[in-house]
Each structure stands twice: as C-alpha cells, then as structure tokens.
Chains A and B, each alone.
Chain A
Amino acid sequence: MIINNTYLKVSKTALLFIGCFAIVYFSASCERDDICPEDAATTPQVIIKFIDFVTALDINQPVDLEVRSADPAITDVISDVTSLDSILIPLKTDASITQLIFTTNATSEDESLIRRDTIDFLYTPQEEYVNSACGFRVNYLGLEVEFTRDNSNIDFDEDKNWIRNIIVQQRDITDETNAHVLFLH
C-alpha cells in the first residue's frame, strides 16, 4: 500500500515537473518579438507629388521618370518610381544633405527628349528609438529642397530641365501620410 502510494507520488511529482518545464519552454519560445513588423513606424521616406505648373493644382504625372542619387558611388536607380502621381524617396540617414537627380523620358532613344534636374534635400536627421525589434529610426527635420542651379527661374533651360518650381508642404518628415514636397512642372 505504502509502495503503491509512493509510486503514485513519484509519478505525480514527475508530471508536475514536466508541466513546469513545458510551460517555461513554450512561453520562452513564443516570446520572440525580434522581427520588426512591416507596419511599424520606422524611418519615413519623403513623399513627392507632381503638380501641373500652369494650373498649380492638377496632378501631372511625369513620363518615364527615373530617380537616382547624384553620388557617383551609387549606380542604382531608386526603384518603383515610374508613372505615379506621387513617389517615395529615401534620404540619407547619416548626412544632412541628399542630392538626387530626377530624369524624365529617362529611357528614351532620342537624347534630346531627356530632361534632367538635380535637387538638394537639406535637413537635420534626428534619431529616435522605436523598439527592440526595429532599433532606431530617423526623422528629417527642417527640410529644405533646392535646385542646384543658382536661380530656378532664370536658369531654367527648357532643353535640359523639367521641374519649374518646388513647394515644401511639410518641413518635418516624421510620417508617410501626406505629400511633403510638390514638384511643379
């Protein structure tokens, strides 16, 4: 009788241990939160909207647009910017200036159709903690967008350039909800 009870108790104890072990093990494995979710508010990109210069109201999609960094070390083109009324543009997170070249009719066979503008984005990058999975993000504060040509109106060359005016709508880039910059062309 005593022996029976003892075995009963041993098995009960063993069960309890296995139970404890299982709880700890599964809770530890479910705990992983180290993947940054796609919808997390990480570093925002600049939203540029293309507006008709004449009406200053209507959306005017640039034809065959190509955006690339003016930095000769980067040869790639910023992808997915063709034929959209607004585009998302990444800025450098470790500098206070990003120089980008915007080209229309970029893939045209006829060289005379290609129009090009080099634009400076000036800002103060501000680092901000997100969470343990995403790490940090950067907000771009006090954004100024300038043509590299000295005077945008006088120096506009119809045979070379296509952007006539730039309006910064939101100077602190902290989210991706509204257009930050308008390009008039």
Chain B
Amino acid sequence: MTITTLDVRGDGSPVPAGVDTPAGRGRGAGAGALVTTAQVADRTVRKFVRTPQLIVLSTIQGAMFLLIFRYVFGGAISAGGVPYVDFMVPGFVVTGVLFSGMNTAAGVAEDLEQGFFDRLRSLPVPRTALLAGRAVADTGLLTWSLAVTTAIGFLVGFRYGGTAAEALAAFGLCAVFGFAFVWMFVCMGLVAGTAQAAQGMSMLVFPLTFVSSAFVPIDTLPGWMQPVAHHQPVTAMTDAVRSLALGDPAAAGLSGSTTHYVVIALLWSAGLVALFAPLALARYRRSS
C-alpha cells in the first residue's frame, strides 16, 4: 500500500466531499521500525525533559546517597589498598544505572495504565519498535544521570587512575549495562500494570545492588552470601568499571585482568537483553 494524496480511504473509493485537507492527507501504510523507534524515543525524552521534578528529584537522590556513602558509611568501611571514595564511586555509578531504571518501570506502567500503549498498539507499526524506542530513550536518559553522578563523585574527592580511553570505555560500559537493565524494567512495568506496583517491584534492585561488590569488598560479607554476590551482574559490572577507573584491577583487590572483567560484564549485559527483551515483547504483543 502506498501513501496517496487523493485515495484517502486507500481502497480506491472516491474521496468523500469534505475530507480534503492539504498536503496529502493520506492514511499511510504505517511507519517502519526506525521511524517508530525514533518517534517513541523522542516522545520519552520530551516527557523527561519537560518533567523537571523527575530530573531534579533523581539528581538530588543520587547526590544524597553518594554523600551518605562517602561521609557516613565511608569511615567505617575499609576497602583494602585504596581510599574508600575511590573504591565506592565506580560502584555507585554502576548502581545509579539501576536506580534510574526504576523510572522506566514506572513510566512503562503509566503508559499501560493510561491507555497510551493502547493507542500505540492500535497503530500500523512494528510493536518491537515501540518498545525499542522506549529502551533507547531511557538508555540516553540514564547516560545523563551517569554523567551527573560521575561529576558529583569527582566533587567528593574521587581520583581517577586510568587513561582517557579507559574512562571512555568505563562510561560506555555503563551505558551498555543500562540498556540491558532497561529491558528488565520495561518487563517489570508491563507486568506490574500500575505505576505504584511498578515502583514496588523495582525495589528488587536493592538486594541486587547491595549484595554486590558495589559498596563493600565481597570478602567482608558473610560466607553464605559471598557466592551470591560474586555471581550477579552488578558485581560483574562494578568489577569491570572499577578496574578501568582505578587503572588496575589489583588496586580494587581483584585478581584477573581488566579485559577479563569487561568481557564478563558484557556477557552479563547480553544475557540480560536476551532474557528480558523477548519477555517484554511477548508481554507487550500479547493482545490478551
């Protein structure tokens, strides 16, 4: 089907009197995947930018936690060879990705709740692209909050030990990790169905972030908890980002090479996408 100027009904029937309008008011056969992704992403970003409470609150929240860890808990935690602030900031940036992801779950649930998804799903567009748009936009927004937390990290005394290339790699890795986790939050939002329930569900990020190497060295955890902490994505990611940020995994008390940790982190990210993207899609497509 092609977009035509006069054939408004798309079935060859004459244009009814009055349905006129300029510039080819044609129904169109539906947007392709790229346009759909871009349009939905554009909408998500606009919504974020025009909801200052979201930006301000999430920034304040991030700063507050960072200060608490740096100055309240920081004195009581020993991170081995490096100052606690250098140990903690990479972990904090990584977990920041998860905390801003909570907005994704709530936003998706809200779209579902308020009928916005119904409208989108009634349009002739690939449904995969509708979700992809959301995921892409939220990854972009995550990157923004990553930059903010990193900046605050420097303000409270974080000293960066790696090369510029490693810094870029660390940042990129966080964005990849964010993209992977966004799919988990999209799933949560779709399953929860209401923004409130989605908020509640996304509390799951607390055990995930705290039972990891993000804030404390894993060997200080109770023995039974250590295997759990070792084998989960937040630890994998923290170890990789920390190795890059300190310029040396050994400084972070890690025995492997930086490449080793980066590869593991990427594998985890790929695994998360492979698990949650199809789940989200199945849930979204299911026309019940």
Bind each other: no
